[in-house]
DNA sequence: AACTAATATTTGTATATGCAAATGTTAAAA
DNA sequence: TTTTAACATTTGCATATACAAATATTAGTT
């Protein structure tokens, strides 16, 4: 189980790194950016929840996207809002295209049915095992 | 798929880190060590294959185990053999116990059948996606 | 209103891993 | 036999992620 889950995560990671190289983003950066474009003003904590990453990791991801002028942060009190820049909105269709390409690729290799089922099962198990 | 596989890998990782803390080893170190005890003289390349990690990562893992006097390396020509020390052999039963505890734990949470099936499916998919 | 507790985010530091280049070694070809 | 190609391992460097502590802010209690 340990190996299988890690091995699968790594090959999937590799496949997606490859796909998102087209927009010069890592998969995590890309998914975060898509979320922010779809829901401007989203907060780090909520992003962490959606992406299943820790808040500190989210901070680091945002920092990088900010340095590339793809998002901006506004800080009011203890909450921070993350907004996409026009540059990010422009990029959005390409992001979607990458996401689609990624899905198409692994569907082709593994079969749609199997894939969807596996994805559901994995998400389910991850939930159960969580804290 | 991307999230699901990563999320599952991370929770499984966390669970196993927890289990192997008893012997003060990371899961990767522990599995590598078990392989070496079971088959003394195993070579890094072959370990990389079994563990689905890259050779460079294996080198690093071995270095650490060597510094903790759990394995020794002998180098003849271009090939390297890794042998367990007596200390490692002594530790072996505890390693097995940890592995068992790990399995028991997630069986309890997820159910044996489901788990075994998922593990097989994941391994299978990882293989298909590989290069 | 002052103090404490809860919450959101960030920062410092550590680990795991990989890639690409470097090194050292054997095998094959010229 | 010298040169070249293939191979196994290691090193240097980079990335992704997490945990724990630090910060900053709001809410609740007395």
What is the CATH number for B63?
A: 1.10.10.10
Q: Report pLDDT for B30.
A: 96
Q: Is the distance between the Cβ of A64 and the closest atom of strand C smaller than 7 Å? A: no
Going by pLDDT thresholds of 50, 70 and 90, the confidence category of residue B131 is: low
The C-alpha atoms of residue B14 and residue B118 are separated, in whole angstroms, by 18
pLDDT, position B79:
93
* Cα angle B53-B57-B60, degrees, rounded to a multiple of 5: 145
Cβ burial of B73 (10 Å; 0-12, 13-18, 19+) is middle
Q: Give A60 or A3, the one with higher predicted confidence.
A: A60
Which of B29, B129, B130 to mutate to probe the A interface, most A CBs <10 Å?
Answer: B129
Q: Are A100 and B123 in contact (CB under 8 A)?
A: no
* Disruptive mutation site among B102, B122, B128, B130 for chain A (greatest number of A CBs within 10 Å): B122
All residues of chain B having their beta carbon less than 8 Å from the beta carbon of residue A15 are: 129
Q: Is the CB of B6 under 7 A from strand D?
A: yes
pLDDT digits (tens, 9 = 90+) for B99-119: 999 999 889 888 899 899 999
> How far, CA to CA in Å, does A80 sit from each of A57, A122, B48?
15, 31, 43
Taking only the tens place, the pLDDT of each residue in A28-70 is 999 999 999 999 999 999 999 999 999 999 999 999 999 999 9
Whether the per-residue pLDDT at B50 is higher than 80: the answer is yes
Confidence grade of residue A9 (pLDDT, cut at 50, 70, 90):
very high
- What's residue A28's pLDDT? 96
Q: What proportion of chain B, given as a percentage, has pLDDT over 70?
A: 99
Q: What's the rounded Cα separation, in Å, for the pair B61 and B28?
A: 8
Residue A129 backbone phi and psi in degrees, to 5: -80, -20
Distance of CA A13 to the CA centre of its chain: 11
For the stretch A77-111, pLDDT in tens is: 889 999 999 999 999 999 999 999 999 988 988 88
Contacts of A52 in chain B (CB under 8 A): 3, 6-7, 10
Tokens of B39: 């088959």
The protein residue nearest nucleotide C20, judged by CA to C1', is: B56
Q: At B130, is the pLDDT very low, low, confident or very high (cuts 50, 70, 90)?
A: confident
Alpha carbons B83 and B89: distance in angstroms, whole number: 10
CB of B80 lies under 7 Å from some atom of strand C: no
- Position with higher pLDDT, B126 vs B58: B58
Q: Which pLDDT belongs to residue A131?
A: 60
Q: How many structural domains compose chain A?
A: 1
Instruction: Identify the domain containing residue A40 by its residue range.
Output: 2-129
């Amino acid at each position: 189980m340990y190996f299988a889950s890690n091995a699968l995560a790594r090959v999937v990671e590799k496949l997606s790194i490859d796909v998102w190289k087209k927009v010069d983003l890592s998969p995590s950066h890309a998914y975060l950016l898509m979320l922010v474009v779809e829901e401007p003003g989203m907060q780090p904590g909520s992003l962490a929840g959606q992406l299943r990453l820790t808040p500190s990791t989210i901070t680091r991801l945002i920092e990088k996207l900010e340095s590339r002028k793809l998002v901006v942060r506004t800080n009011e009190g203890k909450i921070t809002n993350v907004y996409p820049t026009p540059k990010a909105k422009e990029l959005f269709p390409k992001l979607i295209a990458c996401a689609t390409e990624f899905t198409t690729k692994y569907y082709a290799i593994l079969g749609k049915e199997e894939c969807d089922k596996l994805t559901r099962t994995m998400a389910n198990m991850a939930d159960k095992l969580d804290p």
